[in-house]
Amino acid sequence: MAARTLGDWVDALQARGRYTFRRAEAVDESGLSAETVKKALQRLAGRGRVTKVKDYFYVVVPLEYRAAGGPPPSWFIHDLMGAMHLPYYVGLLSAASLQGPSHQQPQEFQVVTDRSVRPLTAGRARIRFFASKYVAGTAVQSMKTPTGSMRVSTPEATVVDLVRFAKAASHLDNVATVISELLPRVDPQRLLRTVRQRKDVPNAQRLGYLLDRLRAKTLAGLVHDWVVRRGPRAVPLRPGRCSQNAREDQRWHVLLSEPLEIEA
């Protein structure tokens, strides 16, 4: 049965527990013309009833999130990535904040996918994407959300990604602090499998050095055994920083140009 207005259709959608829709879907199901739907969406967005994330993808805004311009990305990220036809998982600081007693809340919602994607906004929320060729093989866990579920990297994959994308995680000092909070949830063998999958020796060296500094001897030992069999070369602990005259850590062959500061 056709809706009298698009607002009626959006209300009915929310009543069924759905908070996302595609514009083409609104046209097909509401019984309204494409032009009528386009103008109605503009009005609904202006009133804060919906928020546009992509030209073809909208999120219904419940009353309690009207001031924020939309619900948290966790409510719609799974549907959004489906609409974009992209594999994904929630990662980095966003994953860490869901997995441990982190006192650091990320300022953006961080998502890993298989290609470069420009950041998106939904109300006040900012979604930032990171490209990785290992998305399909990365271990993930399904986490429930108020509207369904989303894919989140496991603690082990989160730890490895944090080192690789350290700049996006407020650099290596903060990465070390976040990893220290995740350590109780990290399984040694699963961490080793993730390191093996990535085959990224320089970042494995950096990870191993951090684990040693955090006194995670078992984890560090497994990573070290994998690294030494690959004949590692000296790499700067902090990529992009000047390593001239830096001291080399002989166990991990990382160049230390400045001390690592880890919050207690």
- Residue 3: per-residue pLDDT: 63
Would you say residue 88 has pLDDT above 80?
A: yes
* Residue 65 DSSP class: G
**What residues does CATH 1.10.10 cover in the chain?**
6-65
Q: How do the residues of the chain divide into helix, strand and coil, expressed in percent and rounded to 5?
A: 45, 20, 35
CA dist., res. 159 & res. 216, Å (int):
13
- Residue 2: per-residue pLDDT: 61
pTM (predicted TM-score): 0.92
Residue 85 near residue 117, CB atoms below 8 Å: no
CATH of 6-65, one of 3.40.1350, 1.10.1760, 1.10.10, 1.10.238: 1.10.10
- Identify the band that residue 240 occupies on the pLDDT scale cut at 50, 70 and 90: confident
Single-letter amino acid, residue 69? G
- The mean pLDDT value for 171-182 works out to 93
Express each pLDDT in 198-217 by its tens digit: 999 999 999 999 999 999 99
- 73-256: CATH class: alpha beta
Work out the mean pLDDT of the chain and round it to a whole number. 93
- Residue 101: per-residue pLDDT: 66
Express each pLDDT in 92-147 by its tens digit: 999 999 997 666 678 899 999 999 999 999 999 999 999 999 999 999 999 999 99
- To the nearest whole percent, how much of the chain has pLDDT over 70? 97
**What residues does CATH 3.30.460 cover in the chain?**
73-256
